[in-house]
Amino acid sequence: MKNKSLVAINDLSKEEIIKILDLAEEFEKNPIQDILSKTVVATLFFEPSTRTRLSFESAVSRLGGRVIGFSEAASTSVSKGESLKDTILTVANYSDLIVMRHPIEGSARYASEVSPVPIINAGDGANQHPTQTLLDLYSIRKTQGTLQDLNIFLVGDLKYGRTVHSLMMAMSQFGATFTFVSPNELKMPNEYKMFLDSQGLKYYEQIDLNENLDKADIIYMTRVQRERFSDPLEYEKVKNVYVLRNKMLGNTKPTMRVLHPLPRVNEIHTDVDTSPKAYYFPQALNGVYTRMSIMSQILGLL
């Protein structure tokens, strides 16, 4: 991984994924180290974020590094018409590594092709969010004791949800069975289902969230993403389609955990928060350890 960009989860082999998770486990045991003391990381967020930006910045700070960057393009020369290429070439003069979130699919790949320093994709439109996937894998392995042969329920916006696309691609390397729970308007795109077919992996599709929950090892909830809809009426039709309630978890496995990349809107009722099966806030914490691991490996420090 040294000096390489991380743009999509399938840029990583299974062995590289496991190495990232193993090192993240070490960071969880010992999160205060000084290994980034000579490093400047730039966080360029052209779209809003709480967890991704702040967990990257927390990871850099805890490892003794410095952060520069912006959390909205309006305060930068992008608002004067500067191109993405010029922004990247400029910021690369000031930093050793660039973490970028951008609304346009493919922007992270493009940035990685023009940048002299590695780029970490922190989300590009509806396409990919690989560091979220790595923290999701970390959370799944930590709660289930394995990544192998698990039953993963992906719920909600499977059409525009970049986190579910990346997670599905990654879990396919570990023999998972998937259940896609979505309304017809937000079904998992065919290209991803064809990918699973080509790998000989099983998947099921259902509309009713209440069905088959007793089979799940992980219920991965997602938000219906208002910002991806071109027609606001289409969003209104599906925005509250699923609400997970505590009473729905009654027949689920004792080891089952509910994950969500967050932010949530209404799709997980707050009555789930006190359940021992709720894992979405520890999941967000795992982002710090996982991002420590990713950055230190890309920078060749470990």
CB of 219 to ligand CP, least distance (A): 16
Q: Name the residue nearer to ligand CP (CB basis): 69 or 123.
A: 123
Q: Is 283 in the site for ligand CP (CB under 6 A)?
A: no
| Helix, strand, coil percent values for the chain (each to nearest 5) | 45, 15, 40
CB of 116 to ligand CP, least distance (A): 26
Output the 3-class SS for 49-67: CCHHHHHHHHHHHHCCCEE
For residue 117, give the nearest of 137, 142, 99, 136 by alpha carbon. 99
Candidates 261, 268, 283, 294: give the one binding ligand CP (CB under 6 A). Answer: 261
CB of 139 to ligand CP, least distance (A): 12
Q: How many CA within 13 A on the CB side of residue 244?
A: 29
Q: 300: which residues sit within 8 A by CB, 6+ positions away? A: 2, 3
Q: Name the residue nearer to ligand CP (CB basis): 252 or 291.
A: 291
Stretch that binds ligand CP, among 22-30, 47-55, 175-183, 188-196 (CB under 6 A): 47-55
Q: Sheet holding 97-102: strands in order across?
A: 66-70, 40-45, 97-102, 119-124
Q: Name the residue nearer to ligand CP (CB basis): 123 or 130.
A: 123
Residue list 123-142, contact with ligand CP (CB under 6 A): 123, 132
Candidates 33, 49, 61, 246: give the one binding ligand CP (CB under 6 A). Answer: 49
Contacts with ligand CP, residue ranges (CB under 6 A): 49-52, 123, 132, 261-263
